[in-house]
Chains A and B, each alone.
Chain A
Amino acid sequence: MVGIGNPVRGDDSVGLVVARRVREAAGDGLVVEELWTGGLKLAEALVGFEAAVVVDATSTGGVAPGTVRLLEAGDYGSCLNLACLHDATLPDALCALKKLGAPLPSRVWVVGVEIELTDHLSEELTPAVSQAVCGAVEAVFSVLDRGE
């Protein structure tokens, strides 16, 4: 499981917070990582695993902050850190690595937690997003258990 986000941009760090909670609750057999960027670095982190869940902040502007959703590829554009603006989107990075023969998970799920964008720096989550962390953690385990 990889939580991605920016640790000093407030709610943008929700993926990282979820990762920490997942790590506490997880048993052996689940590797949990925190990354500060997506794209190629994220795809490279998934190499060698059977399955992977990524958690990131989303900003669609269309749902309430704190909404937790399992995302389809079409929703990836609303993720804040999934694509790395200096190299590639996650699907492109995965596709590139796959072409090069890297062993990648058969499924990569992305769980998004909606936030409201802000320019201000902070290490705290806002209440709405903080309350969503539990739900996001549940979503991670649920997806991995289902294994679909």
Chain B
Amino acid sequence: MARITIDPITRLEGHGRIEIFLDDAGEVENVFFQIPELRGFERFVVGRPAEDMPVITNRICGVCPEAHHMAATKALDDLFMVDPPAAAKKLRELFYNAFFVTDHTTHFYALGGPDFIVGPDAPPAKRNLIGVIEKVGLEVGGMVIACRKRNHEIIKMLGGRSIHPAAGLPGGWSKPMSEAERVEVEKASRENVEFALFSLKAFDDIVLKNDGFRELILGDVFHHRTYSMGTVDAQNRVNFYDGQIRVVDQGGAEVLKYPCRDYATHIAERVEPWTYLKFPYLKKIGWKGFVDGPESGVYAATPLTRLNVSASMATPLAQEHFERMYAIFGGGPVHHRLATHWARLIELLYAAERMLELSLDPEITSPEVRTIPSGEINPKGGIGSVEAPRGTLTHHYEANERGLVTRANLIVGTTNNYAPITMSIKRAAEKLIKGGKVVEEGILNRIEMAFRLYDPCFSCATHALDGRSGLKVVIRDASGGVVESFGG
């Protein structure tokens, strides 16, 4: 059996290792995607005061501390059985959407965007932020950095005045927003909306109007029919901060809708011997392996699936773009995975509009931002979830009568997508490696595109290395000997 290995970063922590096995006919037989696990988390937090969890868990990931902070804060609301005042929820949601704006912007221009804006066949040295700036121009590059800067300021301002978020408390938020701050947020929100619209237009001009890219998005290589998951409000419109978790099938029919408290009832985890991480799947449907279709309980949780489970968007401009995307695909749900990049931009627009709405809400500067908990601990534990940019994020803690953590569980956004990512890589590999066809740079990049669209939180390889892809490909024959190798 010949073997093609993509082993991008051998020394950086959190990297994924993709191994593609060919059979004797040179066809892809199997793909294994191994990732290091966040091990010892439970052991690490047990015995600590539960109230500390928002500032302990926010350290797990330097890229999305806001997501963990928010999920932890909501888990504490549940653990201490306290309902925050309306103004606190709005303030939290406003803060959280500012985070979404920066994260989605950065992903599009620095990570996913290079695949399209520069092109999948460009040399690795150009498939990065610099290549994007060279292609779209300095003015646009400046807009990206300005977007990050103004939203980082807001996150710092609302999140506890430090680089790392610390304002979440059980029952509310540590500090109300002043009118001066509100004015600043409103201004930034308007700029965010303009920039989101601009980015969608850029996507239209550069990607959708390009036949090659259009074909890539609408074609078969990145196409999978799994269940879709996302968090929605009462009208089934995606909400990043709060709501119920909704799952729809391949045709769009609702299969599940549940509060995050019931996650264990609906989601089971599959153990495979070749990786530490477990594969979540829908209990109701069951595990049938790494396969598509209604019989298989595999689901995905991404910007695309969040739109798939939404009947509409809660803000008007995002709604227009939502309708347009589904019209081009002939209705929803959309299973062409590269459309995730498009969905991410629609979410960017929604996050910007939602920030503006909240900044104009008369309650947003209310001083009532905290309900003090009584001190009683929920004997059933506390569970909180949010939509992280990369998928539904769930925190679950149990604590004793002194408020010390006795048990904890975390399902991070990317974990939901572990099986789909593996399947997407395999599908791309199957379509692009045939009859022992020698693998070339562009083809391998397309395989990586299959997992980069998920913006996985454990491996984003190539663009991150100094000018080189760092991509190492090893083709082995049936006896394991090296036939050929590329890159590295």
Contacts and interface: CB of A to CB of B under 8 A. Distances in A.
Interface of A: 6-9, 12, 33-37, 39-41, 44, 59-61, 73, 76-81, 83-93, 95-97, 99-102, 117, 119-122
Contact of B44 (A8, A34, A80): A8
Contacts, number: 133
A115 B41 CA distance: 20
Given A9-B13, A119-B38, A121-B40, A99 B130 contact: yes
Interface string B1-38: 00000000101111100000000000000000000111
Nearest to A87: B110
Contacts of A78: 11
B360 to A, nearest CB: 29
B142 interface: yes
A86 B467 contact: no
A96 B131 CA distance: 9
Interface in B149-164: 149, 152, 163-164
Nearest to B138: A100
A82 B429 CA distance: 31
Given A77-B470, A91-B467, A119-B36, A85 B459 contact: yes
Interface string B26-70: 000000000011111101100000000000100111110100000
B349 interface: no
A40 B465 contact: no
A85 B110 contact: no
A76 B349 CA distance: 36
Contacts of A97: 145
Nearest to B41: A121
Given A85-B464, A92-B128, A100-B142, A37 B59 contact: no
Nearest to A80: B13
B106 interface: yes
Nearest to B63: A86
Interface residues of B, number: 48
A60 B11 CA distance: 7
A83 B141 contact: no
B460 A40 contact: no
Contact of A85 (B14, B138, B467): B14
B389 to A, nearest CB: 9
A75 B87 CA distance: 49
B111 A86 contact: yes
A37 B129 contact: no
A16 B3 CA distance: 40
A119 B164 contact: no
Given A39-B464, A96-B130, A86 B107 contact: yes
8 nearest interchain CB pairs? A37-B62, A36-B62, A121-B44, A87-B110, A85-B460, A120-B40, A83-B464, A119-B39
Contacts of B466: 73, 76-77, 83, 89-92
B148 interface: yes
B475 interface: no
A96 B129 contact: yes
A81 to B, nearest CB: 7
B11 A61 contact: yes
A85 B12 contact: yes
B314 interface: no
Contacts of A122: 40, 44
B133 interface: yes
